[in-house]
Structure 1
Amino acid sequence: MSDLLDIQRIYLEPAAADLPRGREILARFPEAAIVEVESHQRIPEVHGDEANVRRWVRIKREALVLGVKKTMTARPNGRSADFIAPSTANGCAMACAYCYVPRHKGYSNPITVFANIERISAYLRRHAARQGGKPQPNECDPESWVYDIGENSDCSVDARISDNVRDLVTLFRELPNAKASFATKHVNRDLLEWDPRGRTRIRFSLMPPADSRVLDIRTSGIGERIAAIDDFVAAGYEVHVNLSPVVVRDGWLGDWAELLEQLTAGTNAATKSQLAAEIIFLTHNRALHEINLGWHPRAEELIWRPGLQQVKRSQNGDLNVRYRTGAKGSYVTALTDLIGERAPYLRVRYAF
């Protein structure tokens, strides 16, 4: 784990140390220096300092923030999941060039773990109970309410720090009307021992290896992710794939054809019978583009393509760029047609 995480400093909200999970995490990293902070959201030396771009990866590897989740909400989603669960962590040890999180939460954004897992779990149990049975199928799931438990982090990495994710997998195993879901770019085989009984959906993110080697920094390789899928299905997980972000460039469709062939060859019949895909084309951001130029300009050669992209101001005022209207529709059609031809077993849940 030292290549991904080598925790040297823990920024601690004192209230987190009063909780069992907080004490467990502190005991797990006994050599780490403890820096008390007023709030996990206000750490000047970690968040909001442009100079951190020069030591982006080092901060991600060496720093951990331990806090307490203050607000409990389950936001309606309706595409990947029915609800976005209150997070048990945010930030990430990985450093994907296209990740939206640094747009909002600081430049380096190491992992923040929330110690009040009991409160989060109790909230989710009550929320699911209030929903009752799902009245009709939707694109999230035909029978169960789906809760995304990893919107702002990668749960497979979070599980290397604490038992928060395992506690949620255990919780959803007991809920008759709900299941958990999270996307991941990290293969953590410890999860194979958790006995989820079909109540947790893992979405392995995939893209052509040539793109991943440039954009998916510090993640498990694409081949390793595909090789893990059958094992996770056999261990009782529902497994889907996120084909994202789709990057349009010269030869992109041919490389996606090769990836689909790799997925077909690398998975068995049991996996294929339950496999489904989400397809998300790249959305980028002007501010993130400027940040990336300070530490990984090669990535921007792939994902900052003004000739193919148009600007759209988001609800929070950010200037995002996405592929041009009209052209993007043709890209989506080309990729979904390719899936129908090369991987007809792969049900496309949605594509945009």
Structure 2
Amino acid sequence: MSTRAPLDLRQIYVEARAAALPRGQEILARFPEAERIEVASHWNIPGLHGNAGLVRDWLKIKRQVLVLGTRKTLTMRPNGRSADFIAPGMANGCALACAYCYVPRHKGYANPVTTFANIGDVTGALERHAHQQGRKPQANSVDPHAWVYDLGENSDLSVDALISDNVRDLVTLFRGLPNAKASFATKYVNRELLTYDPQGRTRLRFSLMPAQTARVVDIGTSPMHERLAAINDFVEAGYEVHLNFSPVIVFRGWTDAYRELFRQVDAALSAKARAQLAAEVIFLTHNAGLHEVNLGWHPRAEDLLWTPQWQETKRSEYGGENLRYRRGLKGKAVAHFTELLRRELPGCPVRYAF
């Protein structure tokens, strides 16, 4: 698993409106050597999106290509699991290359980061929405007091922060919202975020899995020992830090591997980190289209992800066909996982598991 910097930008596809905005100009100035290619839409770039021949350059495109656009949709979607609401993200796609990531299903055979330059539109929408919610009337599994907004449904904000100040601006916004918190999951340790001064208003969820599994499927991410070592530092810097066990992948010997991981977490935690800890658990969902993409660049990952002897097809809420662990097997696996977690990390509540 690579530990090098995830970005080495050589090309920037840019919408004219994005290039005219202050944030767009800042991003272009940050990468002055990158070739600029003007496009009409960040969603439809001929030769990049839907080009099956590019699957061979999957990792290269992620590292070397950036798409710079503007966000049109500013809707807050109700959630209830990782957050109360899914916020309109300031990026789509990722420079990391986790083999199970669902975002490429919507982009075809190339999945570089798309960053949005209209940060003011998004922060304004978030602020208005939070004010409209008022005080949270009662505690729920998301948070006892604050409305929580997931900012990174389709990207990794720790990587996004390498591209622009969008993430810093979002953390700053939530620092001033007394009834709301930001939240995002990450697989990359970006220590620059330690300077953002979140004052308890941003929840960072470190995604964890057994190291031997991560070496196969979490390409380009921070090694597991670095993520574990960062937990205490981020708590000290004012973040609320939770654990994101996602995706949980079933393989022969998986429970022994997770038992060892839980013990590594237990050994790494400070008393302060332990006191505010909570976890979420999400078992793997795979997809036939993503399976085909992965066969073109990383077939070894499919030995872990594509296990039809244990999986069944299920239609998603958006109409697509996904593969999930069979109903009886998954129920037993979720119960076993959560019991093992409670036994090894007894002070860590499970906010949800499925």
Gaps of 5+ in 1: none
Counterpart residue number, 1:71 = 73
Aligned partner letter, 2:322:
N
Contact preservation (8 Å) 1:57, 1:108? no
Aligned partner letter, 1:125:
E
| Higher deviation after alignment, 97-106 or 228-237 | 97-106
Contact preservation (8 Å) 2:4, 2:220? no
Q: 1:17 aligns with which of 16, 19, 35?
A: 19
Q: 1:343 aligns with which of 312, 325, 345?
A: 345
Counterpart residue number, 1:39 = 41
Counterpart residue number, 2:61 = 59
Map Cα deviations across residues 56-77 of structure 1 (whole Å, 9 max, x no partner): 0000111001111112111111
5 Å-filtered alignment, 1:80-95, equals 80-95=82-97
Matched position secondary structure for 1:250: coil
Matched position secondary structure for 1:326: helix
Distance (Å, rounded) in 1 between the aligned partners of 2:236 and 2:5: 28
Counterpart residue number, 2:333 = 331
Distance (Å, rounded) in 1 between the aligned partners of 2:95 and 2:124: 27
The structural deviation recorded for 1:345 is 1.1
Q: 1:184 aligns with which of 186, 191, 205?
A: 186
Distance (Å, rounded) in 1 between the aligned partners of 2:5 and 2:175: 32
5 Å-filtered alignment, 1:162-181, equals 162-181=164-183
The structural deviation recorded for 1:3 is 3.7
Counterpart residue number, 2:278 = 276
Contact preservation (8 Å) 1:54, 1:295? yes
* Change beyond 3 A, Cα 1:202–1:254: same
Distance (Å, rounded) in 2 between the aligned partners of 1:169 and 1:3: 23
Distance (Å, rounded) in 2 between the aligned partners of 1:89 and 1:185: 16
Q: 2:123 aligns with which of 101, 114, 121?
A: 121
What is the percent sequence identity of the aligned residues? 63
Distance (Å, rounded) in 1 between the aligned partners of 2:111 and 2:299: 19
Aligned partner letter, 1:186:
Y
The structural deviation recorded for 1:107 is 2.1
Matched position secondary structure for 2:333: helix
5 Å-filtered alignment, 1:235-314, equals 235-314=237-316
| Higher deviation after alignment, 251-260 or 103-112 | 103-112
Matched position secondary structure for 1:330: helix
Aligned partner letter, 1:239:
V
Contact preservation (8 Å) 1:69, 1:114? yes
Counterpart residue number, 2:134 = 132
Distance (Å, rounded) in 2 between the aligned partners of 1:170 and 1:77: 23
Gaps of 5+ in 2: none
Map Cα deviations across residues 248-304 of structure 1 (whole Å, 9 max, x no partner): 111000000000000000111110111100000001001111111111111000111
Contact preservation (8 Å) 2:11, 2:37? yes
Aligned partner letter, 1:204:
F
Q: TM-score under structure 2 normalisation?
A: 0.98
The structural deviation recorded for 1:315 is 3.3
The structural deviation recorded for 1:6 is 0.7
Counterpart residue number, 1:207 = 209
Runs of 4+, deviation exceeding 3 Å = none
Matched position secondary structure for 2:112: coil
Matched position secondary structure for 2:98: coil
Q: TM-score under structure 1 normalisation?
A: 0.99
Distance (Å, rounded) in 2 between the aligned partners of 1:125 and 1:179: 11
The structural deviation recorded for 1:2 is 6.6
The structural deviation recorded for 1:87 is 1.1
Distance (Å, rounded) in 2 between the aligned partners of 1:197 and 1:316: 37
Aligned partner letter, 2:107:
K
